[in-house]
Amino acid sequence: MRTVTGGRGTSESWRWPRILVLTMLLLASVTVANFVLHGRSGDHELARSRLSQLDMLLHEESSLQWKTLAKGNTPVRVARELGAIRSQEKKIQEELGVSDALRKQVADYHAVLDTELGLLGVGKTADALALEQQRTEPAFVALAAELDQLGEAEMTAAGVAKNIAGLTLALAMIAVAALIGLLLYRFEREHRIARRVTDEMLHQQSIALETLTEHEALVRHQALHDPLTGLPNRRALSALLAGGGRQALLLVDLDDFKPVNDQLGHAAGDELLVTVARRLHRCVREGDSVVRLGGDEFAVFVQDGDAAAAVHVAERIVDQLGEPFHIAGTTVHIGASVGVAVGADVVDGDLLLREADEAMYRVKQASKGGYAVAGSAHTA
Q: Which residues are catalytic?
A: 296
- Between CA 14 and CA 3 the distance in angstroms is 16
Element (H, E) at 43: helix 2-71
Which is it for strands 325-327 and 330-332: parallel, antiparallel or unpaired?
Answer: antiparallel
Phi, psi values for residue 248, rounded to 5°: -135, 145
- Contacts of residue 224, Cβ cutoff 8 Å, sequence gap at least 6: 232, 233, 235, 236, 239
- Between CA 40 and CA 158 the distance in angstroms is 7
Q: What is the residue-wise DSSP string for 319-369?
A: HHHHS-EEETTEEE--EEEEEEEE--SS--HHHHHHHHHHHHHHHHHHTSS
Q: What is the residue-wise DSSP string for 196-218?
A: HHHHHHHHHHHHHHHHHHHHHHH
Q: In angstroms, how far is the first alpha carbon of the chain from the final one?
A: 137
- Between CA 172 and CA 271 the distance in angstroms is 78
What DSSP character marks residue 245?
S
- Between CA 231 and CA 290 the distance in angstroms is 7
CA atoms within 13 A of residue 83's CA, in its CB half-sphere: 6
Give me the helices (H) in 132-179, please. Answer: 137-175
- Between CA 222 and CA 230 the distance in angstroms is 9
- Between CA 58 and CA 75 the distance in angstroms is 18
Q: Is residue 178 helix, strand or coil? A: helix
- Between CA 78 and CA 48 the distance in angstroms is 29
